[in-house]
Structure 1
Amino acid sequence: MKIAHVIIDRMARGLDRAWSYVIPEGMDIRVGHRVHVPFGKGETLGIVTAVYEYGTPDSAADVVLKPVLNVVDPVPVLSAVMIELGMWMAEEYLCFPIQAYKAMLPRNIRLRPFSAPTQELCQVVGQRQGRPSKRQQLWDILAERGPLLKEELLREMPEMRQVLRDLVKEGTVVINRVDSASPSFPVVKGHRSPFTLNEEQMHAVTTIVEAAPGSKWLLEGITGSGKTEVYLQIIETIVQQGQQALVLVPEIALTPQTVRRFQSRFGQAVGLWHSSLTDSERAKTWQAVRDGHLAIVVGVRSAIFLPFRDLGLIVLDEEHESTYKQEEHPRYHTRDVAFWLADKTGTKVVLGSATPSLETAFYARQGLIGWIRLTRRIGTRTLPPVEIIDMREELQEGNHSIFSRALQQALTRALDRGEQGILFLNRRGYASFVMCRDCGQAVQCPHCSVTLTYHQDQNKLMCHYCFYTIDPPTACPHCGSRRIRYFGAGTERIVEEVMKLWPGTRVLRADRDTLSSRHSYYQLYDDFVNRRADVLVGTQMIAKGMDFPHVSVVGIVAADVALHLPDFRRSERTFQLLVQASGRTGRGDLPGVVIVQAYEPEHFAIQSAATHGYDDFYNQEIQYRRELGYPPFGNLWLLEVADASEQKAKETIHRIFEKVTGLMEMGIEVLGPAPAPLPKVRGRFRYHVLLKGAKNPRIMAVLSEIERDELSCSITVDPYYML
């Protein structure tokens, strides 16, 4: 007789442990299976985390156990490695194990039994050589690219549905049903690279390919230095060895360009994973990865949990991006999960960036991970010159425009030559806030401690936290004055100003309001790269990774907008954004120029970015972190209480503060309690306590107790957002 340890699907303190059940005779249960088990007076779903022979020390032999009722899926949905990873995440990030396991499973698979469906595979038969036509075009595609899934083929080329039927009818194409549980494709037909690697790139490829399994690397390369080509050539070796590769990108906005580069080299062996996929698409991709049908996946953060059969390489492109940190439970950092997998499975990890996070750069400089630098752009291209404009002087000299005179002149010259420009501003909307000139009160969200942003295209005021929306007031809601004015500038306002200053200019806007689906990302990229627009106005989502060869001017409208946030990473974020945005120009045959506008141009983050000087920035910022004990010199734990009752929130945060004061004897710094920088969000009052120091078992025990006892408290390990 065997015993199964089961984590049940209940998120409640005291229930977040493994429960023991007898496995009935003849029932095939393995680690990673989902099972139905009796619990209390009813039954519940659970995941098997261990299987023991009855009578062994771990099998709870002296207790009368209930039997497992039934197995949900014919095969385990999680591997033994993923089960172990989930347990590590629960301990590391102070979450329920079931939260970690749910993060690993697509919604479709969580909600219904997992099965191995059949799929339709299209392939050519014999030879066909007819006159140029749609039939011949589709036949040639199938002949060149090999067998393709019918669904994927028609998703890529929906206009070919009837053409495919015609080819099947004439007998030159057949469609076979295949069991997706038995790998039958694809043979990875890698196309030869059109690029010749320079000496630095070749060194990077050779070093990482020949490195030991489980090794971790920082690939630090300036913008335009060819990091993606290095990834591609390393992956080519990995897949030729029969292993799989995962390429992570921080934003869905980066996937159109990245996926096309990978698919042009590796064809249908490349899959896509991001939040805009439908439930069905996510489930099918998950299945294809699990069954070995996909050799390469390009995806966002959650792709780290895909069920790879034999994962040989994980790439975190733009590894410095904060989107690699999950802000809801389980609050993991993708880099840390990748490192865990490297240690457990021998997967190699490559962290790529022109502006590495301080933590990663520190690890590399301390020799804790490998470090390879690409110091020059590919070909004869050079980094663009950067001109810093002091907007205080512009105002003093009578220029009240959003744009400095230097930026206006540079963009005018570019447009006159038929070139493109990009303007960055990290604010959506038309105006940052609406204020009364008489009483000085700004129109605030009633549910959040923030001002409402004006969106001209909708003629609405909107909260970007809870999405509360109202019509713009004609009179001040505080004093009744009609002297209502709009202050600050957002992306909408920038678009309006561009069209006013350069009539007839074709302008695209890229922010969270305009890019609401995956198709909008693809359309934006296609329109701009194919020169169907002259100027792209956007937030930071387009400041990274995008390669637009016809851009000769980049204007950063308000470079210091983030320097005044109550966040210890504000200088790092500012530097990274400026360098990444600057890197969007001068990538083709055109020389580029960058205009940086700021009201605090002397700040070291701005000055270092102007010279593309990562080392200069690192040396100053790391000293600041060392003096104050911030990561990488210590851990942070942000304890946040949120409650609809402000009094209850205050009582809870003070009770928590009393529980952590004893940690000060161990050298832990306790900051707070205090209202959060945004003290009210979505109708809930928020209070913070911040712990700072070296991690040890005593701290984790105290935090686990707080997490268990204080239901309104959430704990984030090494938070990326302090607001």
Structure 2
Amino acid sequence: MPVARILFPLPLPEPFDYAIPEGLAVPEGAYVTAPLGKYERLGIVLEILPDSAGEGRKLKDVVHVYDAPPMSRSMRDFILWAAKYTVSHPGHVLGMVLRARAGLGPSPTETVYHLTGQEPSRLTEARSRLLAAAEELGPQTATALAAAAEVSSGVVKGLAETGALRAEVVETDLPYAEPSPDLPGAVLTVEQAEAAEELTAAVASGGFHTFLIDGVTGSGKTEVYFEAIAEALRRDPEAQILVLLPEIALTQAILSRFEARFGAAPAPWHSGLSDKDRRRTWREVVHGRARIVIGARSALFLPYRRLKLIIIDEEHDGSYKQEDGVTYHARDMAVMRAKLEEAVVVLASATPALETMVNAELGRYTRLQLAARPGASRLPDVELVDLRRAPPERNHWLSPHLIQAMQETLEAGEQTLLFLNRRGYAPLVICKSCGERLKTPGTENWLTEHRYTGRLVCHVTGYSIPKPKTCPHCGAADSLMGVGPGVERVAEEVRVLMPEARIEIFSSDTAQGGEATRGIVDRMEQGEIDVLIGTQIVAKGHNFPNLTLVGVVDADSGMKGGDLRAGERTYQLLSQVAGRAGRAERPGRALVQTYAPDNPAMLALADNNRDGFLQIERDVRAELGLPPFGRLAAMILSAPSAEMVDQVAQDVISQAPNGEGIEVFGPAPAPITVLRGRHRRRFLVKAPRNVDLSAYMAVWTARLKLPNPVRMSVDIDPYSFL
């Protein structure tokens, strides 16, 4: 018998071999079930071994083969490569691929009812209401029709028995509409057309190509890569296209643009989907019927049949980094996935990451520049507001200069966006009597006050409690005080200053889910909001035609800490949020409040000198051998007590392999030293660019035998330093 080598979505060190029974067709890549321990489990056939591989071995049989297209060789190679690169079990990566494995089975069904046009013999008021609802809504389930007509489900059954309604069993997971590449797109400028022509030529020629669309905010990057999508759809009737976006909010906002351009909405994939929608998208991807998929970073691990184009919009965004479980950066993984698929990959950003810019300069990526906004719109003027010279009033957060600009904007009938990357009312709560800072139990994380809900929330762990009436430490009544500004506190200040203005907050607290996000975006686009106060969610991808003023409340907040990317991230974020202004005919401006106007990131922002800022960053990192001119890996140990984690850390460092040019720093307390009651220590490993750091970390971790209470995580190319 031939042998199937099966990988299971479990933390196992290797795949297992199974005999293929006579008469059972098991191709490579098949989704199968096979016995493992006491249970039959789902797995993937990585490869088929010849009959000789089973000689003299007592192997269990493959039990079942799913009726689904086999996983492609390139996808299986990608799983194995991603596991090796991230120093993870291949089964953990496969677990991400099989996240909606219910899509392997047939679609669930439901019974819907159609009007037949036949009048019932007896027409009651309830029946009349239900027939009217059926005419208005079209085919619906009995429950939906009854709810719409405010009657019982028995009325539906009665009308079906009289012949007025006809029952039909239908599948619930319907295919997505086929997109059309030939609908008219936007009229492109000469600059946009040249970039689109180069992209479409690469798509037409086939093979692996990597592009960077380096365009200022509002320059039409989306319209350019729309042309590449259209070309991929035309060239290959089975081609699938993946568009990655960093935020669910962006996914919701851009769906309508896709539908207008291609006549059909793309298949969505992100954490906000219901289980039903997730199952539907997964099934359609596996069968190759989902031609365009738009989603968050995990959409990269869907098992596409024929992936020919990958687009990473806002490629610089830090949320492409997965920090839990298998740690990976979706941008870097996408480039490798495209290489294995022999596909085209497009990175797009107004503020590309330094790593991406260096790759473009070295010729690894083809750089397409969009230096101007189309039409009459132009980039906003950016002015630094030196808070040392013109500070806000005591216990206030808006400077007199920004307040005046907001009032002028309101009088002109235009909109203001205030940006502050802090949710809630106050980022710190202290006791006025004893000075206690309220923290999450078992951690060093401060609790943030949310005044609208009356709760104190930890934004790291999700821990939440009602705001106490007395200090938990000293018992003093009414002594707890919020310190520092959050978006709720800034909104409170604006309401006092501008009582006639229509004010809303846009953060992950106020925009929970797609409908809430769309509602805020729609109201802003339609001019129903005068002042929008938001966190990072407002900085990306939104187009508000009447927005002419952006105010950055605390530009310095991202510069704190020892993160090597702090300056770069600050520049990127502030540049993106400033770029929301003046995107139509009316000119825009941005006022950036800062206590450090001489910081290189602030000066570059005011002078619109991105390349000069990147050169400074490049020089510093090159001198220190930091990414992209060197490589980093992190290892974090955690344990229930500081004594235990310190003792284990000393054992761990003693077993670090020697390697030429490799430096190991630590152990040191992680920046978040205590998390969910666990004490954390971090090692940083620095190596030259040509060192296989994944292999080094794999050798090191293989030597370790950690006590049961101790956990370890490895992060290759860490993007944040938590």
Structure-2 residue corresponding to 1:377? 373
Structure-1 residue corresponding to 2:208? 214
CA contact (8 A) 1:476 1:483 kept: no
Shift of 1:697: 5.0
3-state SS of the aligned residue for 1:382?
coil
Q: Does 1:503 align with 2:485?
A: no
Report matched runs for 1:152-301 at 5 Å: 186=178, 188=180, 190-193=182-185, 195-211=186-202, 212=205, 213-241=207-235, 242=237, 243-268=239-264, 270-301=266-297
Aligned counterpart for 1:461 among listed residues 456, 463, 473? 456
Aligned counterpart for 1:419 among listed residues 411, 414, 424? 414
- Encode CA deviations 1:348-370: one digit per residue, 9 max, x unaligned: 01100000011111100111111
In 2, the alpha carbon distance for the partners of 1:717 and 1:655 equals 21
Q: Does 1:718 align with 2:717?
A: yes
Does 45-54 or 437-446 show the bigger shift?
Answer: 437-446
In 2, the alpha carbon distance for the partners of 1:77 and 1:508 equals 49
3-state SS of the aligned residue for 1:443?
coil
Shift of 1:215: 0.3
CA contact (8 A) 1:89 1:330 kept: no
In 2, the alpha carbon distance for the partners of 1:109 and 1:595 equals 51
Structure-2 residue corresponding to 1:360? 356
Shift of 1:244: 2.4
CA distance 1:291–1:467, change in 2 (3 Å)? closer
Q: Does 1:309 align with 2:305?
A: yes
Report matched runs for 1:57-72 at 5 Å: 59=53, 61-71=54-64
3-state SS of the aligned residue for 1:545?
coil
In 2, the alpha carbon distance for the partners of 1:434 and 1:177 equals 55
CA distance 1:587–1:121, change in 2 (3 Å)? farther
Structure-2 residue corresponding to 1:428? 423
In 2, the alpha carbon distance for the partners of 1:108 and 1:229 equals 34
CA contact (8 A) 1:94 1:704 kept: no
3-state SS of the aligned residue for 2:332?
helix
Structure-2 residue corresponding to 1:442? 437
3-state SS of the aligned residue for 1:32?
coil
CA distance 1:121–1:40, change in 2 (3 Å)? closer
CA distance 1:701–1:631, change in 2 (3 Å)? closer
Structure-2 residue corresponding to 1:402? 397
In 2, the alpha carbon distance for the partners of 1:46 and 1:77 equals 12
- Structure 2: 5+ residue runs without aligned partners? 115-130, 150-158
Aligned counterpart for 1:75 among listed residues 68, 76, 92? 68
AA in 2 matched with 1:80? R
AA in 1 matched with 2:497? L
CA distance 1:620–1:481, change in 2 (3 Å)? farther
Shift of 1:288: 2.0
In 1, the alpha carbon distance for the partners of 2:300 and 2:503 equals 36
Does 327-336 or 419-428 show the bigger shift?
Answer: 327-336
3-state SS of the aligned residue for 2:559?
coil
Structure-1 residue corresponding to 2:531? 535
Task: Provide TM-score, normalisation by structure 1.
Answer: 0.87
CA contact (8 A) 1:31 1:76 kept: no
Shift of 1:699: 6.2
CA contact (8 A) 2:687 2:693 kept: no
CA contact (8 A) 1:424 1:538 kept: yes
Does 680-689 or 398-407 show the bigger shift?
Answer: 398-407
Structure-1 residue corresponding to 2:487? 491
CA distance 1:268–1:284, change in 2 (3 Å)? same
CA distance 1:185–1:536, change in 2 (3 Å)? closer
CA distance 1:256–1:38, change in 2 (3 Å)? closer
3-state SS of the aligned residue for 1:394?
coil
Report matched runs for 1:493-642 at 5 Å: 493-642=489-638
CA distance 1:524–1:65, change in 2 (3 Å)? farther
Shift of 1:720: 1.4
AA in 1 matched with 2:78? L
Shift of 1:675: 0.7
- Structure 1: 5+ residue runs without aligned partners? 124-134, 143-148, 160-165
Does 267-276 or 679-688 show the bigger shift?
Answer: 267-276
Aligned counterpart for 1:100 among listed residues 93, 100, 103? 93
Structure-2 residue corresponding to 1:19? 16
Shift of 1:150: 8.9
Does 428-437 or 214-223 show the bigger shift?
Answer: 428-437
CA contact (8 A) 2:380 2:578 kept: yes
Structure-1 residue corresponding to 2:676? 682
3-state SS of the aligned residue for 2:551?
strand
In 2, the alpha carbon distance for the partners of 1:610 and 1:570 equals 18
In 2, the alpha carbon distance for the partners of 1:615 and 1:121 equals 60
CA distance 1:27–1:509, change in 2 (3 Å)? same
AA in 2 matched with 1:722? F
Q: Does 1:30 align with 2:27?
A: yes
CA distance 1:493–1:277, change in 2 (3 Å)? same
CA contact (8 A) 1:108 1:279 kept: no
In 2, the alpha carbon distance for the partners of 1:417 and 1:585 equals 15
AA in 2 matched with 1:233? E
AA in 2 matched with 1:285? T
CA distance 1:602–1:536, change in 2 (3 Å)? same
Shift of 1:701: 4.5
CA distance 1:178–1:44, change in 2 (3 Å)? closer
In 1, the alpha carbon distance for the partners of 2:696 and 2:393 equals 61
3-state SS of the aligned residue for 2:584?
coil
3-state SS of the aligned residue for 2:289?
coil
Shift of 1:434: 1.9
CA distance 1:478–1:419, change in 2 (3 Å)? same
Cα RMSD after superposing both structures: 3.5
CA contact (8 A) 2:85 2:694 kept: no
CA contact (8 A) 1:554 1:581 kept: yes
CA contact (8 A) 1:34 1:48 kept: yes
CA contact (8 A) 1:641 1:712 kept: yes
Task: Provide TM-score, normalisation by structure 2.
Answer: 0.87
In 1, the alpha carbon distance for the partners of 2:222 and 2:113 equals 31
CA contact (8 A) 1:553 1:585 kept: yes
AA in 1 matched with 2:575? V
3-state SS of the aligned residue for 1:268?
coil
In 1, the alpha carbon distance for the partners of 2:111 and 2:56 equals 50
CA distance 1:457–1:109, change in 2 (3 Å)? same
